[in-house]
């Protein structure tokens, strides 16, 4: 299936990827393809290597072996097609800058060296803030934003990147229900316009509701494919090593839906 032509049309192809910190493998022989125009969840227990998978695709961590292609070429060549929403907690929100300024950072890559953002960049940034419902916060110092607002600002920054593929690291972590709804709506809009979204996700319950495609990860890939086919009880328990005592109602099984009582040992 890996003819070169097919690879060209694949937003993300990861081949034989192994990543190790010192002697400990974080990802082991990972082989996944991510199809175009889908909302793709990366799911797995803590320490499964979910963020590391995104970071290795984005060339942010050194690969021990294997390779990654974005639409058939290296990340370096395709960088402008990629948007990134890092974990909200990865930056210092007391940094002296405004909401609008953070969103403009999404355009720094296209601006190139030395050139500063001007009127055009300002307008685009305002438009992106409008989309996430944060236009009235444009001139706020970022330390005054709530967790949900910070996440929206990061999303707006990614929108300003005007990418084809978006990578989001736990965009729902610590946000309120309204913000989660708003973010999902924007993600769906992006999907409708043909973009691909790759999301590190923690809440198993909402996987079938939000996502088309799922990658179950625990150092190795446990399962990868359409949610209705591969998001099964067996796969989840395999990924979580039998530590799951609770599984959502909506989790399907090839042989029919799984009931909550079952997983509680009924």
Q: How far is the CB of 263 from other proteins (least distance, A)?
A: 37
# chain residues binding other proteins, by CB under 8 A: 30
- For residues 4 and 92, which CB has a smaller minimum distance to other proteins in the complex? 92
Q: How far is the CB of 25 from other proteins (least distance, A)?
A: 18
Binds other proteins (CB under 8 A): choice among 21, 31, 47, 109:
109
The three-point CA angle 67-77-225 to 5° equals: 45
Question: According to the binding rule CB under 8 A, does residue 64 interact with other proteins?
Answer: no
115 SS3 class: coil
User: In 3D, which of 65, 110, 78 has the Cα closest to residue 11?
Assistant: 78
- For residues 111 and 244, which CB has a smaller minimum distance to other proteins in the complex? 111
- For residues 28 and 108, which CB has a smaller minimum distance to other proteins in the complex? 108
Question: According to the binding rule CB under 8 A, does residue 60 interact with other proteins?
Answer: yes
Element (H, E) at 169: strand 165-169
Residues for the chain: how many in total?
266
User: In 3D, which of 156, 151, 150, 157 has the Cα closest to residue 107?
Assistant: 157
* 259-265 LR contacts (CB < 8 Å, sep 24+): 263/233
Q: How far is the CB of 106 from other proteins (least distance, A)?
A: 8
Residue span binding other proteins (CB under 8 A) among the ranges 83-91, 130-138, 179-187, 216-224: 83-91
Question: According to the binding rule CB under 8 A, does residue 102 interact with other proteins?
Answer: yes
Residues 147-176 that bind other proteins (CB under 8 A): 157, 161
Q: How far is the CB of 19 from other proteins (least distance, A)?
A: 16
Residue span binding other proteins (CB under 8 A) among the ranges 66-74, 108-116, 183-191, 258-266: 108-116
Residue span binding other proteins (CB under 8 A) among the ranges 78-86, 128-136, 202-210, 246-254: 78-86
Residue span binding other proteins (CB under 8 A) among the ranges 62-70, 109-117, 198-206, 234-242: 109-117
Residue with tokens 């800058």: 97
Question: According to the binding rule CB under 8 A, does residue 86 interact with other proteins?
Answer: yes
- For residues 160 and 239, which CB has a smaller minimum distance to other proteins in the complex? 160
User: In 3D, which of 105, 29, 20, 97 has the Cα closest to residue 67?
Assistant: 29
2 SS3 class: coil
Question: According to the binding rule CB under 8 A, does residue 49 interact with other proteins?
Answer: no
Question: According to the binding rule CB under 8 A, does residue 5 interact with other proteins?
Answer: no
User: In 3D, which of 147, 128, 148 has the Cα closest to residue 138?
Assistant: 128
Question: According to the binding rule CB under 8 A, does residue 246 interact with other proteins?
Answer: no
Q: How far apart are CA 223 and CA 214, in angstroms?
A: 8
Continuous H helices in 132-176: 147-160
DSSP string, 182-249: HHHHHHHHHHHTT-EEEEE---GGGHHHH-SEEEEEESEEEEEEEHHHH--HHHHHHHHTT------T
Contacts of 61 (CB under 8 A, 6+ apart): 19, 52, 55
User: Which residues are at the interface with other proteins (CB under 8 A)?
Assistant: 55, 58-60, 76, 79, 82, 84, 86, 90-92, 95-98, 102, 105, 108-109, 111, 113-117, 141, 143, 157, 161
């Amino acid at each position: 299936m890996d003819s070169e032509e097919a690879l060209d049309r694949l937003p993300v192809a990861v081949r034989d990827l192994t990543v190790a910190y010192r002697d400990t493998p974080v990802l082991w022989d990972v082989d996944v393809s991510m199809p175009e125009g889908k909302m793709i969840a990366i799911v797995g227990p803590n320490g499964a290597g979910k963020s590391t998978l995104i970071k290795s695709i984005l060339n942010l961590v050194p690969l021990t072996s294997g390779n990654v292609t974005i639409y058939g070429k290296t990340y370096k060549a395709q960088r402008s097609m990629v948007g990134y929403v890092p974990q909200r907690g990865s930056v210092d929100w007391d940094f002296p800058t405004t909401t609008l300024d953070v969103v403009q950072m999404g355009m720094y890559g296209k601006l190139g060296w030395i050139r500063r953002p001007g009127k055009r960049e300002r307008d685009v940034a305002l438009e992106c803030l409008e989309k996430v419902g944060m236009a009235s916060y444009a001139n706020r110092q970022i330390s005054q934003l709530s967790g949900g607002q910070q996440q929206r600002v990061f999303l707006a920054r990614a929108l300003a990147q005007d990418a084809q593929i978006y990578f989001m690291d736990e965009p729902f972590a610590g946000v309120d229900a309204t913000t989660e709804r708003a973010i999902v709506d924007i993600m769906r809009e992006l999907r409708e316009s043909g973009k691909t979204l790759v999301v590190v996700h923690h809440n198993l319950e909402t996987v079938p509701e939000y996502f088309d495609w799922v990658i179950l990860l625990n150092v190795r890939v446990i399962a990868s494919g359409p949610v209705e086919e591969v998001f099964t009880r067996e796969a989840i328990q395999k990924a979580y090593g039998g530590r799951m005592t609770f599984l959502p109602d909506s989790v399907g099984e090839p042989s029919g839906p799984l009931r909550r009582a079952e997983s509680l040992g009924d």
